Amino acid sequence: MVLCVTGTDTDVGKTMATACLAAAALARGDRVAVYKPAQTGVGPAGAGDVETVARLLGRPDRLTVAEGVRLGPAMAPVDAALEAGGAAAVDALPGLEWHLERIAALAGDRDTVLVEGAGGLLVQLTPDGATIADIALGTGAPLAVITRPDLGTLNHTGLTLEAAARRGVRPGALIVGSWPVEPTGVHRANLGRLRDTAEDHGYAWGGALPEGLASATEEVVSGAATALAGVLPPRPGG
Ligand SMILES: Nc1ncnc2c1ncn2[C@@H]1O[C@H](COP(=O)(O)OP(=O)(O)OP(=O)(O)O)[C@@H](O)[C@H]1O
Ligand SMILES: [Mg+2]
């Protein structure tokens, strides 16, 4: 099965959540692939998001990671291509069908494929204007939405879930990417509201990943993953 991962914004913990979802799938015995269609803000030798996932999980045998395109400027993909190489670089970017074929190839011999978008739901990943919502529609995948716990999140989360629903994207899970060690009253109130928002839109509630995962041991990541096992879509035939 394919699961698309988006966020209410950039930097909300999509990659951390993707690592935990991958760990949960590995823990149930799946062969897992993580695919990032467009990685921006990383040079040719740098570590992109899928490399971060592999590192966090200790590079297990049953995990494959792959990137579609990599663009150095830290911008939305199409603008990053424009900045890096002008109109010709934009034209050279692969389109939606190319990504769908890559995902299908990965799904051919893996039980679970996680696809991490760039930024939020409506960021264009390809010159033909495709977004992670289009990848979810093209693959039939449900959507996991990663969100923040702080002020402003209720509006961003509601907007994201509504826009996904309007496009016909299958609801997957709502997960808080990073829960502070010392939550405030705002965080606690938001958590309850986010849970209700998930339920209203048919999303499974994935709870909140603890802050500090970036430097965590594989053990801590596995602990966070256990909490996400319940929101993973079933594996084919499983
Ligand atoms: N639960 C967490 N524990 C520790 N650090 C976190 C957690 N969630 C997010 N971070 C940190 O916040 C930053 C952004 O997280 P992450 O890279 O997962 O976001 P993203 O949504 O994948 O961003 P992008 O849009 O660039 O892909 C990173 O530096 C990451 O280490
Ligand atoms: Mg990321």
Q: What is the pTM of this model?
A: 0.95
Cβ(148) – ligand 1 distance below 6 Å: no
What's residue 212's pLDDT?
Answer: 78
What's residue 238's pLDDT?
Answer: 63
* H and E: helices and strands count for the chain: 8, 7
Q: How far apart are CA 172 and CA 212, in angstroms?
A: 25
What's residue 216's pLDDT?
Answer: 66
Q: How far apart are CA 185 and CA 187, in angstroms?
A: 5
Cβ(213) – ligand 1 distance below 6 Å: yes
The one catalytic residue among 24, 26, 33, 36: 36
What's residue 222's pLDDT?
Answer: 75
In this structure, the residue with its CA closest to atom 16 of ligand 1 is: 13
Strand order in the sheet with 142-147: 63-71, 32-40, 112-120, 2-7, 142-147, 170-179, 204-210
What number does CATH give the domain 2-231?
Answer: 3.40.50.300
Cβ(128) – ligand 1 distance below 6 Å: no
Instruction: Give per-residue pLDDT as tens, 212-223.
Output: 776 766 776 777
CA of 207 to the centre of ligand 2 (A): 19
Q: How far apart are CA 208 and CA 228, in angstroms?
A: 9
CA of 120 to the centre of ligand 2 (A): 10
What's residue 223's pLDDT?
Answer: 76
Cβ(14) – ligand 1 distance below 6 Å: yes
Structural domain boundaries in the chain: 2-231
| Six token digits for residue 100 | 């769908």
Contact 16, 210 (CB under 8 A): no
What's residue 108's pLDDT?
Answer: 96
The number of beta carbons lying within 10 Å of the beta carbon of residue 116 is 28
pLDDT lower than 50: segments of the chain: none
Instruction: Let me know if 91 is exposed, middle or buried by CB neighbors in 10 A (0-12, 13-18, 19+).
Output: exposed
In this structure, the residue with its CA closest to atom 7 of ligand 1 is: 178
- Catalytic: 14? no
